C-alpha cells in the first residue's frame, strides 16, 4: 500500500512539473513576442 501511495505521489508531482514547464514555455513565448515587437519598433526608428 505504501508503494502505491509513493507512486501516486510521484506521478502527481511529475504532472505538476510538466504543467509548470508548459506554463514557463508559454510565458517565454509571450516574452519573445514582446521582445520581437520592441526590436522591430526600435529598428524602424
Q: pLDDT at position 16, please? A: 94
> Which grid cell sits at 16?
505538476
Task: Please say if the pLDDT value at position 45 is more than 70.
Answer: no
**Residues 4-44: pLDDT tens digits?**
999 999 999 999 999 999 999 999 999 989 888 888 888 87
Q: Count Cα atoms within 13 angstroms, Cβ side, for 36.
A: 6
Amino acid at each position: 500500500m505504501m508503494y502505491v501511495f509513493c507512486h501516486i505521489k510521484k506521478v502527481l508531482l511529475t504532472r505538476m512539473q510538466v504543467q509548470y514547464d508548459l506554463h514557463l514555455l508559454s510565458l517565454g513565448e509571450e516574452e519573445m513576442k514582446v521582445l520581437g515587437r520592441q526590436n522591430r519598433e526600435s529598428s524602424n526608428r
